[in-house]
Amino acid sequence: MKIFTIGFLSLFVTAALTAQTFAEVKVLTPEKGGTPNKVYDQKTTAPELTVATYNMAAGRVSNIQDVAAAIKSLDADIIALNEVDNKTGRSGNVDQIAELSRVTGMHGAFGKAIDFDNGGYGVGILSKYPIEKQQVFKLPSGDDEQRVLLVVEVKKPGFDAPILFMTTHLSWQEDPALRLQQIREIENITIGNTDSSFNEIASSIKILAGDFNDVMTSTSLAELQRYWNPLKSDNLDIRTWPAANPALDLDHIFVYRGQRWAVENMEIPNKQAEWKQVNWPATSDHVPVIAKIKLLEQ
């Protein structure tokens, strides 16, 4: 009798654990449509886009007016911004994205990562074209500062489908373990393994930019390149930090492997202090990355 009772209880517990395991399994919904593939001729039909990424250091190296002038000088269609304050005490309670939008005439989105100094702190995006939709995704951060991915949907004339533009600012810890977790969550979002408000995200046109706090030869960015291709140009020095004498390439722009882009021009002002009438080391501790690209395959 005792043997039967123990065996029955064991079977019951096993069945309960199995049911619990199955209950926690996420069933992914397959895409039923999505952005169709389309090929463009580089010289005649390929739509063009200028993108940039810039860690603005919350205007702490200079001020928000100087940052706005620097952004205007880039003349980007869409720009990713890192280290953005929203009504914090240290920034004079200014909504920095709203102020940058006002001065540049661009549309803005803010993605709060943390509460800070009676306000918020995180990342932002400015776009010459209306932002149709936006969403902030939390990334694994452990006991470190919370990190996020901000995604916006932009429709630019000449493109046959909306563009999802994403920005993030990853962990600065020397141990890459946390960055790898954050990148894998970005990959989950990229291919639709995470719930989002964007329809059929896996096939969408996607661009990812920001401060990854790691260099292109690192293990964490090698992981990211499972799904993303870095924008690059032959013989271009890609170092972006510290701005006064750049040593490390921390700021990058990636395009999703579902599309093919041609880099028409790519610039990083790391050779001299002044470029486009802006003194970059006097404006932030990072220099920007800017690229003019053409879509060859949607």
Query: 9 — alpha (psi -120 to 50), left (phi > 0) or beta?
Result: alpha
Q: Tens-digit pLDDT profile for the chain (298 aa)?
A: 334 333 433 433 344 444 444 445 666 777 788 999 999 999 999 999 999 999 999 999 999 999 999 999 999 999 999 999 999 999 999 999 999 999 999 999 999 999 999 999 999 999 999 999 999 999 999 999 999 999 999 999 999 999 999 999 999 999 999 999 999 999 999 999 999 999 899 999 999 999 999 999 999 999 999 999 999 999 999 999 999 999 999 999 999 999 999 999 999 999 999 999 999 999 999 999 999 999 999 9
Q: Quick check: 124 and 97 in contact, CB under 8 A?
A: yes
Tokens for 9, please give them.
């209880």
From CA 48, how far away is CA 242, in angstroms rounded? 30
> In a 3-state reduction of DSSP, which class is residue 161?
coil
Report the b/e string of 129-156 with b at 16+ CB within 10 A.
bebeebbebebbbeeeeebbbbbbbbeb
Q: Quick check: 128 and 77 in contact, CB under 8 A?
A: yes
Cα separations (Å) of 119 from 85, 91, 150, 237, 271? 8, 10, 18, 37, 36
- CA 241, 242, 243, 248 dihedral sign is negative
From CA 147, how far away is CA 180, in angstroms rounded? 13
Domains of the chain: 38-297 (3.60.10.10)
Q: pTM of the full predicted structure?
A: 0.91
Give the per-residue pLDDT at 16. 43
